[in-house]
Structure formats: C-alpha cells, structure tokens
Structure 1
Amino acid sequence: MISIKPLSLVALLATVLLVSCEQFDEFNANPNEPTEVSADVLMTAALRSSVNTMVTESFLLGNNAAQLTAKTLRTEVDAYNWNAFPTVWEGLYESLTDVNAVERIALEQGNEKMQGAAMVVRAWVFSTLTNAYGDIPYFEAIKGGTESNFTPAYDEQAVIYADLLDQLAQADALLAPEAAGSISGDIIYNGSAAQWRKLANSLRLRLLMAANNQLADTGAQFAEVVEAGNIMESNEDNAALVYLDGFPNQFPLIPLKTGDFDAVAISQNAVNLLSSYDDPRLFRYARPDNGIYGPDGTFDGAENGAGAGSCDKIGSRLGPAYFVDGAQTTADQLGIELGKGIIMTYAELEFLLAEAAEKGWIGDDVESHYRAGIAASMGYHQVSLDDTQWDSFDDFYANSGVAYTAAVDIWEQKWVALFFHGLEPYFELRRWYFESGNDWAGLPFVSPPCANVNDDMLPMRFLYPGEEQSLNSDNYSAAVQRLGGSNSQNAAIWLVK
C-alpha cells in the first residue's frame, strides 16, 4: 500500500517538521543547489506515477470488474464485495501533487505548451478519480502545502465534469502551434504539442460520452469538437507509456512473483467471445494452454465470481506482453512489444465516433468508424492472422461474424479493445449497464458473476477510503449524504442517475 496521504497526514507532519527544523535550514542551505525541482523532472515523475497506478489497477480492478479477466485468488472484485480500493485514491492524488507543480511553474515561466500538457494530465487523473468514486475533493485538493488546507471539500461530480471539459478546451488553445514554449520531461509524446492537443480533444469526447445521459447538449458539444479536428488519427497518436527493460522503469507487472501474476487469468466471457470469432487478439490477451500459437492453440476462461463453490476458476494465463516467463514463449520470441501504460488509444477514439454516429450526433458512417476501431485494436496488439483461419483483416471482418449490424456491436467490440486501458473498461461497462436499464440482458457479451454477493447488480462506484471519515469528517459526511446517506458501492453517482 502506498503510505503517502497527500490530502492530510503527510502534509500535516511536514508542517510540524518545518517549524522544528527551520533554524537548521539556515546552516544547511547550499547556494549551488536549486531550491525547486524543475518542471521537466516533475512532469516525468507525474506521468510515470499516474500511468503506473493505472496499469496496476487495470490488472487488479479494471479488467476484472469489466469481466475481460477474472481473479483466481482474492476474488472480492469479481464477487462484487468491493471496498475503497485505496491505492487508486492515494496513487492518483499523489501524482497530482507533481502535476499541479508543473502547471504552476509553466504558468510562472509563460510556457503555454507545458501548461497545456499538464492540464491534460490533470484532467485525465481527476476524471478517473471522479468516475471511480463520484463526488471528490477537486477545487480544494492538493492545497495542503500552498494554502494549508488539509480538509478539502468534496465537489459534486456534475460541477467537476463541467470544469474538466472547460480545462481541456483551454488546454487545446494552449497547445496550438502559435502558443509559446515547449514540453520537456514528456515520456508519452516526446514533447509533441500537436499530439498532446489531440489527446486533450479525444479526452473531451470520452468525457462527453460518459456524461451523455446527464448533459442536455452532449451531441452538439461532441460534434463541435469533432468538427474542429485535432483528435487522434492513427495508432501513432496513442497516449501510451513505452517502458524500459530494467527496474524500476519496466512494465509494472514484470517484477511480480509468478503466483501474484497468476492470480488473474483471461475470463470465460472473453475466451467465449474471441473464440467465436476466431479473433487473433486472443493470442495476445492470453497464452494458449498447449503452447501452440496457431489455429490449434487452445484456451480456457476463468469464470468471474466468488472463489468458492461451483465457480470455475481455471483460466489461461495472461499474454506474454504482460509478464516474462522464460519457460514459455515470450513477447520477444513472438516479435511483439511488452505491455505499455495506456492513457487512451486511437481504437477507443474510433469507437467513440462510431457510437456518436449511431446516436446521430455526427453525420459520419457508423460502420466505417466501427471497423476502424477493430483494425486499430488489432494493430496496437500486433496480432498475427497466422494464428487463425483468416487470410486478411478484410477476410476476418467479412466472414467471422464480427461485422456491424446493431448498436450493441459497438459496445461489444469496444469492450474487447479496452483490455488494459486502466479503469476505463469498468467505467464503460457501468455506462452500458445503466443505458440498458440496469439489465444484463442488454449486454450479451458479459453476465452476472458466479456466486456474487451483490444480488447480481453491478456496483456503481468505489467506496471512499476509511481515512477520509476520520481525517476529513465533515466534508466526507456531506458527500455521503449526497449519496443517500451511505458510502455504498451501489449508490448511484451523477453519471448513472
């Protein structure tokens, strides 16, 4: 567990230590050392920290809650016996400390492009937090060090969403070619303001789709962003961290013990769906049980749900991109890259456009975007059609049964494409579940988990961490009252009311 508590305890202790050590600072100050960490160092730290948190939580939470994978041990997520998942709260708020510092320094230095990139990261992190918990500390968050506010108010999700959309619109302008400055310390896009701008606008589309059941003018706002352009155009625009080979800069799952990695397997629902299409992504998401990468490869899927009773927890190991085992075929031997830390991909963007077209928000052809989304996902995962019966992508699309026929197809293929996309698989499954009247029948590619403890209901949110109740009691209580009086996983947040 991460021990840093950015909203409360550490900041308070730091204040006490600052008073007691003030006299020593006079003697220990080194005039040859900088008194403030530079923005580029902070940007690198913020990106690495936030993305690492999301990779880990995708493995432990996002993929499992969305039934792309299944827990074989410690099955609380699968069985819907949820808690606060405090590593999400702590990890993301901790990274925001550095993000805010980057934005402040960039503003002081008149570096508009750096400021814009920091605003994009900040919006992504805060959107993840509010999507997970609902109302959260937002406007007053991370101000313990600058304003001595260690008990920030919880802002309502509707207000947070409005500001996030506004912040991303401002970032779009700050990242324009004519804006001043440059982006340093950038381990996502290597300083490309044009690609950060595309991410800013693509995230705007993600947020608009997420809030479409609450915003009266979602379609018009969505169409305006699309019409203006500057959104992702190919897999070259993917916002994904490419990891290095050595610790501590490698893909976060690589250092895991074998038993911890094997506590998650490919899900029964994923295997059933991908096998029905003979989809080559199955050979990237999981390892064939018989070790054969080809048409004769075999897979098992673990059932989502409780770890006891009749639930089948035998499932194929996750793919070689996510863990290195010299006793099995490796990613290097397959000629593919190890896993990346995903913020957002072009495949997701194409499915957003497909759904927007299906809803009538934009005049584009639905199937063109749908097909492009599948192709982009396959390209990202570096699939080999030699593992299947298909001669080409055209052959796969035309003859596998995956071709677009109805709106639910968009949800299904986006579900497949969101593998290891942080918590986004769960957030989207929740939206689709809500838009289907909280009825699993509207989502034929998933099912109520085996022996779950929540009466077959998909949880609507993560619980607030217990420390918030003791360290930020008044604001915590106000937020819980807005949930109906209980810090419950089934309390409906604004997005799904």
Structure 2
Amino acid sequence: MTHKIFKYSIPFLLLTAVVFSSCKKLSDINHDPTKPTTADPQYLLAGAQKNAMDILYSGLQNGYISMHYAQYWSGNSRTDDSRYKLDEGNNATLWNNMYRISLHNLNEIVQLNKDKTSDPKIAAQSAIAKVTACWIYQVLADAYGNLPYKQTFQLGSGNIIPAYDDAQAVYSALLDTLQAQAAILDDPAKSDIATGDVIYNGAPKAWGKLAHSLMLRMAIRMSGANLPKAREIIEAHYAKAFASNDDDALFKYVNAAPNKFPFNESERPIVDFFVSGTLVDYMQGLNDQRLPIFARVSDDNKDYKGMPYGWASADAARPKPGNFSIPGKQIYSATMPGILMTYSEVEFILAEAAARGMSVGGDAATHYGNGITASFNFWKKLTDDRSISDASISSYISKVPYNQADWKNVIGTQKWLALYPQGFQGWFERTRLQFSKPGGQPLFIAPISGTMDPSAPMVPFRLTYLISEQTQNKAAYEKAVSAIGGDTKGTKLWYNK
C-alpha cells in the first residue's frame, strides 16, 4: 500500500535511502545515497542515520547556525550568520530533510516490520529505528520548540497541514518511547544483530545503553522546569547508560565519496570559519591539550588566535584572515565521526544531577572528573595524541576543580568544551544553563559588530519556523506561535522559562 503523508515526505524521497548492506562497516560499500533503491528496511535505517548526521554536521547547518550559536566558531567572509541573521534556506533544509528523509524512513521501517516483530532481528531493527527517531525529534524540539509530532505521519490521510504539538508533551512521549524500546533492547533474548545500522552494527545491547543515555539527556534538559520528573528518569536509568568511551554512539564516516564526513577538506580548503576567540582564549588560559585538535595556528603569526565573535568582515578595523585560527585538521577530516552522544556527556549529566541532589551512584565531583577524563581520552584515541596522559589529565582537572557552590559554571564550561564540535548540543546547553566562567566572569560575548536580530541580542534561544509554514500550514503555524510566545529567536523554550 502506498502511504500518503504530508509535505515532509514527498514519495520519491523514500527512495533516497543509502544502499548499505548488512556489512559491519560503512567502508564495506560505497554507494551514492541520492540514487534510487528498493525500500528495504536495512537501507532505510542506514539512509536515515546518514541523512541526519550529514545535516547535523554540514557546514550549512552545523557551521553557519549551531557552531555560531554555541560560540565555538565565528564567520570569515560571511559574517551575518555570527550576528544571528538566519539563512532561511539552511533552516528549511534542516527541518525538511529531518522530516522528509530521516523521520520518514524510520517510520517506514516500523510500518514494514509491524507484522514481523516475532523475529528477534526485526524486533531489534524496529526498536533501533524508534530510538533513532527519538534522537531526531528531540533535536528538532530543542531547536524550534513546538513541532508536528502526532500527526507527522498519518498513514493514508493525505494530511498536509499537521498540528504542532507542545514541546513538553513531545518530550514526555519520547521518554515513554525510549523506555519501551530500552526494555526490548535490554532483553537478553533480543541479542540478534539487526541489519542496516551503521552506528553500532546492529547490536541491541549497545542501542539499549544509548536509549537510557538519551533519556538522561532529555531529563537533565528539563530539570529546571520539572525537577521531580527529571529525578525520576535519571535515577531510574543512569545505571544502564554509557559506562565508558567504548559505548560512544558514533556514525563512522570513511575517506571515500559519498561517505566522507560531510564537512571535510579532503578535496578543497575550507575557509568559511574561524575558531572563536571565546573558545581559544578560554582553552589557552587553561593550557588545554585539546586546543591543537580543536584549532590550528594562524597562517601569519603561527599561534592560536581566535576571531572575536561576530566581527563583521565589512569592518575596516578587523584584522586580515591570516591572523586567526581555523578549525583543526581532525575536525575537517573525511573520517571524523558523526557524534550522536558520548560517555563524556553522560558523566557531565550525572555531575549536574548529583549537584541538584539526585542519587546517581557517586558525587558530583567524581562524575565531573570522569566527564573531563572521558573527553580527553576520546580525542586522544581519535587523533593518537600521545601527549595526553593520565598525569596530564589529572593536572588539568586540578586547574578546574569542582565547586558545589559554583556548580553551574564549573560543569557548564567543561561540558561545553566536551561537546565541541556538536554545535547543536553545545548551543542547547549554552542557552539552558546560561553559565559563565567558574567564578562568574562572562565567558560568552555579544557579537562584536552587533546583532542583526533585536530579539536575540546575546544568543538565539531557538530557530524560527520555516517561512513556508506561514502560508502552507497557516492555522497550525499561528497556533504554535501563540502557544510558545512568538516566532522569534529570542523566544525561550519551555525548559528555559
């Protein structure tokens, strides 16, 4: 049966799934994801994962939007993005591709498998698809606020004007889904490898850990708005979440087109972005060994120099580009993995949970130290940087000691560093925690040349809805705008209010 869904899923885009076999590595095959293929669930799963990662790490979405909003990077010749003028084409691609390709493919997997879940492999595949969808929906909810959810894929209805759901209600539904899928994936009887998964090669237990970890991410993000619910989720699931760097959820790109990391310099130099002065100055002050991984020395001065954030290229006083550092070689590598979630993030979540008085199997200082250690070891393994050692990590932690009286700033700054180059997650945490440097001195600055959006003088709290929604889904759009308090970048999300 042909399934009709609204505009987020044009039928032919179902065929854009990447033609991956059940091979254990992405490098085992090398197909063009834009070529049509049979809508087999394993290909749909691989295609959904790759499309989501490609968008979240594209220079257009991660680079021009979220890496700016997290204040990790600042623009080179194109500087309006650093000043919060949103490129509507990039915004539309984020929204449309996530719905039209990734979420559509994942929904299709569940529908194709719905009568076959007595097969453990198929049951695991459907559970993996649902967990992946929860991850994507949360990214969208954290980027926009209220969004289409319940009516996204009303099969057979031909619905092209879906209602927007309350983002807090979406969170609740996603948590329910994750708990249900975790129960399936944790079941020892469901140990069969599912096909099509690039992140964990179809291993149910690994996906179960990710489901528990994603629940922690969601719970800590809502902790300021609903602490009792956050406590309930975190205390119930932390013990089954990531326990080491071996559990990291990474999409493995390879140095062969079209499966390279989406923003890489293997075929051309990338000159679009500088690393921000905010990041470089703070890391230099701590003699942070990750800085040579995150950034390169400037061409002219051969030292690490960040571009002051939001400095317009038209300003005659701005120094020439050769004075500033561009992102590091690993960050622009063709084999840079797409990061979905890491053990380091889990430990910082548990540090904050402990700081808020939750029972999470250790005190805040211990989890905080674990988070820093895990971040350093992640980059050490990825780059084979042998200068990073247990002794050097311990020395670093001694320079940024945990302080319960200042937990938000202490944890916030180190979590922000550990989330690089996950622009969206870094931005979400920046706006949620509103942290400064330990001790209270400001870390972030307003754009040097001023904001181009009066609603967001310091940082956007969300992305505005697509312009097309104002005409194509007008009634639902207007209701959503009224519910969230206005379609501006300065409108705070429910958990920030």
TM-score by length of 2: 0.83
- Residue in structure 2 matched with residue 282 of structure 1 by the alignment: 291
- 2:62 alignment partner in structure 1: 58
Aligned equivalent of 1:163: 173
Q: Which residue of 2 aligns with 1:490?
A: 490
Higher relative contact order (CA 8 A, sep 6+): 1
Question: C-alpha distance in 2, partners of 1:156/1:443?
Answer: 35
Task: Tell me which amino acid in the other structure corresponds to 2:208.
Answer: R
Are the equivalent residues in 1 in contact too, given 2:65–2:86 (CA < 8 A)? no
**Of 118, 125, 145, the match for 1:114:** 125
- 1:45-124 map, 5 Å: 45-56=47-58, 57-82=61-86, 84=88, 85-94=91-100, 95-110=102-117, 111-124=122-135
- Aligned match of 1:134: 145
**Matched residue type, 2:364:** V
2:27 corresponds in structure 1 to: none
Equivalent pair of 2:447/2:458 in contact (CA under 8 Å): no
How much does 1:441 deviate? 9.8
Q: 1:93·1:142 contact (CA, 8 Å) conserved in 2?
A: no
Question: What secondary structure is seen at the aligned counterpart in 2 of 1:108?
Answer: coil
Equivalent residue number for residue 213 of structure 1: 224
* Structure 2 residue corresponding to 1:450, chosen from 431, 448, 452: 448
Match of 1:217, SS state, is helix
Mapping of 1:401-480 within 5 angstroms? 401-405=399-403, 406-407=406-407, 408-433=409-434, 444-453=442-451, 454=453, 456-480=457-481
Q: Using the alignment, how far apart are the partners of 1:127 and 1:368 within structure 2?
A: 28
Q: Which amino acid aligns with 2:44?
A: L
SS at match of 1:423: helix
Once the two structures are overlaid, the 10-residue window that deviates more, 120-129 or 361-370, is 361-370
Match of 1:343 among 337, 340, 350: 340
What is the aligned counterpart of 1:235 among 230, 241, 245? 245
Counterpart selection for 1:365 from 363, 366, 372: 363
Does the CA-based 8 Å contact 1:464-1:487 persist in structure 2? yes
Cα shift readout 1:138-168 (whole Å, capped 9, x = no counterpart):
111134x643111111111111111011111
Structure 1 unaligned regions, length at least 5: 1-5, 15-34, 325-336
Query: C-alpha separation between the residues in 2 aligned to 1:249 and 1:209?
Result: 33
**Do the aligned residues in 1 keep the contact of 2:215 with 2:234 (CA within 8 Å)?**
no
- Give the letter aligned to residue 232 of structure 2: Q
Distance 1:457 1:283 in 2: 28
Kindly indicate whether residue 248 of structure 2 is the aligned counterpart of residue 248 of structure 1: no
- Please say if 1:148 is aligned against 2:152: no
Alignment match, 2:30: none
Classify 1:90/1:479 alpha carbon distance in 2 versus 1 (closer, same or farther; 3 Å): same
Secondary structure at the counterpart of residue 343 of structure 1? strand
Q: Which runs of 5+ in 2 are unaligned?
A: 14-36
1:418 to partner: Cα distance: 0.7
Tell me the alpha carbon deviations over residues 385-442 of structure 1, each in whole angstroms, 9 at most, x when there is no partner: 77699963223333xx222233111100001011122411111101012x88xx9995
Secondary structure, in 3 states, of the residue corresponding to 1:44? helix
SS at match of 1:70: strand
Alignment partner of 1:189 is 2:200: yes
Root-mean-square deviation (CA, aligned residues, Å) is: 3.0
Tell me, yes or no, if the aligned pair for 1:278 and 1:389 is still in contact at 8 Å. Answer: no
Q: Distance in 2 between matches of 1:385 and 1:37?
A: 42
Instruction: Tell me: CA distance 1:97–1:256, structure 2 relative to 1, closer, same or farther (3 Å).
Output: farther
Query: 1:199 and 1:422 mapped to 2: Cα distance?
Result: 20
Taking a change above 3 Å as real, the CA distance of residues 468 and 416 of structure 1, as seen in their structure-2 partners, is same
| Percent sequence identity over aligned pairs | 28
> Quick one: distance in 1 between partners of 2:146 and 2:165?
5
Aligned to 2:396: 396
Per-residue displacement from partner, 1:307-343 (whole Å, max 9, x unpaired)? Answer: 133556652111111336xxxxxxxxxxxx9411011
1:320 aligned counterpart, secondary structure:
coil
Relative distance call for 1:253 and 1:282 in structure 2 (3 A) is: same
SS of 2:250's equivalent in the other structure is: strand
Structure whose CA Rg is larger: 1
Displacement after TM superposition at 1:60 (Å): 2.7
Classify the secondary structure of the residue corresponding to 1:491.
coil
How far is the alpha carbon of 1:218 from its aligned partner? 3.2
Equivalenced residue count is 448
| Alpha-carbon distance in 2 for matches of 1:448, 1:379 | 32
Q: How does 1:173-184 map to 2 (within 5 A)?
A: 173-180=183-190, 182-184=193-195
SS, match of residue 240 in structure 1? strand
Residue identity in the other structure for 1:187 = V
* Cα separation, 1, equivalents of 2:387 and 2:300: 12
SS for the counterpart of 1:462 is: coil
Of residues 176-185 and 461-470 in structure 1, the stretch that sits farther from structure 2 once superposed is 176-185
Change (3 A) 1:142 1:74: farther
